[in-house]
Chain A
Amino acid sequence: MLLIWCAVLILACLELSTRVGTAPICSYGQAGCHTPSLADIFDRVIQQSSRMHGISSDLHSEFEQYFFPSKNLIGKPKCHTHGIVTPADKENAQRLGREQLTEVILRLLGAWGDPLLQLYRSMSQDQNQDFNHYSSNKALEISDMVHELRDGVAKMAEKMKLSGVLGNTVGYISPEGLVPSSSFSFYKHGELNSMDHHDLLYCFRRDSNKIKNYLQILKCTTLPGLDC
């Protein structure tokens, strides 16, 4: 009797543990979670990154239009993600390999979670009512998108590992390990002003474009298909 109970318990434990490992991947938590294919995940992730980049571009151009008519301040701001080494052209990106490329993407995404949230808070609290509600909502939107995208890319990496496409060198990257926790202090101590907003947005626009491009390269090297 006792033996039987033990056997049942052990089997249940084993099953649970295996189930955790093979949990179905549900990107963005849709209901009725059937496992999407890798191609589907790629498509969604790339769409998300495209949208994110588009919104950040809009925000940045709004800033430029209203606050900084002169266009030649480019090059001045230094972004807090400069520490992350990123391939700067196509060959380097392709030469990097899938694992490292994925790691770079995850690093970038991880680095932007907090700063964007800070940006949104700062924008919404701004006494200067030149910001319309629309802009601060956009900031919130891209802040959410970054988090979602990071989860999505992580799942995608998992799936790629499972299907053998990706090697196991891509480890779990904790967001704290990427950039110093006080990344925001890089920009300015204390509260942010519009200038800081602008710098942030410029940096994010650039980084979101990097993320989008890297994801595209990753997809087209992994699954060459219609969109490539």
Chain B
Amino acid sequence: MTSSAPVGPHFTECISREQETFRCWWSPGGFHNLSFPGALRVFYLKKDSPNSEWKECPEYSHLKRECFFDVNHTSVWIPYCMQLRGQNNVTYLDEDYCFTVENIVRPDPPVSLNWTLLNISPSGLSYDVMVNWEPPPSADVGAGWMRIEYEIQYTERNTTNWEALEMQPHTQQTIYGLQIGKEYEVHIRCRMQAFVKFGEFSDSVFIQVTEIPSQDSNFPFKLALIFGVLGILILILLIGISQQPRLMMILLPPVPAPKIKGIDPELLKKGKLDELNFILSGGGMGGLSTYAPDFYQDEPWVEFIEVDAEDADAAEKEENQGSDTQRLLDPPQPVSHHMNTGCANAVSFPDDDSGRASCYDPDLHDQDTLMLMATLLPGQPEDGEDSFDRPLVQTQTGGPQTWLNTDFYAQVSNVMPSGGVVLSPGQQLRFQESTSAAEDEAQKKGKGSEDSEEKTQKELQFQLLVVDPEGSGYTTESNARQISTPPNTPMPGSGYQTIHPQPVETKPAATAENNQSPYILPDSPQSQFFAPVADYTVVQEVDSQHSLLLNPPPRQSPPPCLPHHPTKALAAMPVGYVTPDLLGNLSP
């Protein structure tokens, strides 16, 4: 509906620019008779005290229809109410126009708007610009009286879709992503923080960055590329043409191949292992002697893998001594000798350190020996009789060679009820060693106390059962009376060894012998066999002390029911384990 009623005189706006002064503008509205200057008067009420009065505008500007309140008349945070009155004190407004100064602040626009180019994108299509300015001079930002935040807007020239950036209180801001070649128009405005009314926009500033000729940037790059390729080609040509050995050495150093002194490098090639083995084993012309032909005369820088020729002959002999168990079980002094030879036996490089690194550390030997002894002989009672241990070990020290030439790992073929373990190592036994060892053992035993002797003797029964038939690794330890080994029943092909009962006559001899030593000795040391070990041995009987006997005890009074029957049965039995029913026959 069209309002026919004319709008009366009213205030258009009151604005403060710096929160220190403010102005109010009015308009006569439809009342044209009031448009002449002085027809309308402005009155204000400053509510700073309960009995405040309406006062007239302190400063008129009739041309502009403006009422100006200077610093003396301006108070912030105090409500002002404005009134327009005519000549005859007629109030033309129903409601007073009231405000507080801080709410009508519209700051002046910032000044000195300026821009600088930040960077251009690698594609050369867009760029970033840093815009900076000064706060409006009228706003006393320096005293902290006003805190201002700014808003930048920019657009393409001659368009009006202005893009506004985020408000921020600093006096500079970056515009990102402007496009090369286009012209942009930028202006800025500001307002007080936490207030709503913006000031006027500043004057616009124009930004334009034109294209930079890109050939210059590409040209040197292409040139450099071409030159680089050419240079590489020339270099390759030079290398190919010159074939200087020195140059070749620098550029393409030779790959080291195995070179053993005294051995023709041809033999080291694939497929010639037999000849190599032959030479290395000392055959032929003694290929490893120092007088071996020098195959590498023209390559003086070659480092050789050296093989120690001295021990090549004794390689086989040393093989057993060099076994791991040997080294570990041997006593310190002799074993150190062994160790060194073992070390020398190993392939050693000219570098001294590397040779020894592969050997066992002699320092660790003692403890390890004891440890190994303990582990290999787990049949010891829980009390852990050290006294027994030491004599055993000391027997080793007595003899230059070991009593037990076993591998490092020994297979446990059986476990005694008492806890003893039956081992079956894979190596030979030196009977001579064990003899001497036994003698020493007897001597050592004499040193010990009687009690310990008895104990040890008793314990011997519970000790490791090591059967030693014809050169196998077994040495059984049991009641000395009861076991003797048959040296002359070789069954090398069989996996088991049956131990047949000896005639009783031989028993005392063996017994007597065995009384002195806990070890089983074969009657004829000559009959040493270096045959491979028997892994298993048939248990013939279980004696009164619950040790498994590989030879049944002599039966003074054979049981009436079974006179030699079990043994005969066993004898007749093919090689194998004792079956449970036979086991019952074995029990004493």
Contact = CB atoms under 8 A, between A and B. Distances in A.
B194 A213 contact: no
A228 interface: yes
Interface string A61-83: 00000000010101100000000
B102 A209 contact: yes
Given A90-B20, A91-B71, A206-B100, A72 B144 contact: no
The SS class assigned to the B binding surface is loop
Range, interface on chain B:
20 to 34
B144 A219 contact: yes
Given A89-B20, A90-B143, A50 B193 contact: yes
Contacts of A54: 193-194
Contacts of B412: none
Contacts of A53: 194
Given A206-B100, A228-B143, A89 B74 contact: yes
A94 B20 contact: no
A74 B75 contact: no
B240 interface: no
B140 interface: yes
A150 to B, nearest CB: 20
Interface in A184-228: 206, 209-210, 212-213, 216-221, 224, 227-228
A88 interface: yes
Contacts of A209: 77, 102, 194
Interface residues of A, number: 29
B145 interface: yes
A72 B71 contact: no
A93 B79 CA distance: 18
B408 interface: no
B48 interface: yes
B104 to A, nearest CB: 11
B96 interface: yes
B194 A50 contact: yes
B194 A88 contact: no
A224 B71 contact: no
B81 interface: yes
Given A54-B194, A57-B195, A75-B98, A88 B145 contact: no
Interface in B77-127: 77-79, 81, 95-100, 102
Contacts of B194: 50, 53-54, 57, 209, 212
A228 B141 contact: yes
B47 interface: yes
* Most chain B Cβ neighbours within 10 Å, of A53, A57, A74, A220: A74
B95 A228 contact: no
B544 to A, nearest CB: 80
B213 interface: no
20 contacts: A53-B194, A54-B193, A72-B96, A72-B97, A72-B98, A74-B98, A75-B96, A75-B98, A88-B76, A89-B71, A89-B76, A94-B143, A209-B77, A210-B77, A212-B194, A213-B76, A213-B145, A218-B144, A221-B143, A227-B144
Given A221-B143, A221-B144, 18 more contacts: A50-B194, A57-B194, A72-B95, A72-B96, A72-B97, A74-B99, A88-B76, A88-B77, A89-B20, A89-B76, A90-B20, A90-B140, A210-B77, A213-B76, A217-B145, A218-B144, A224-B142, A228-B143
Interface of A: 50, 53-54, 57, 70, 72, 74-75, 86, 88-91, 93-94, 206, 209-210, 212-213, 216-221, 224, 227-228
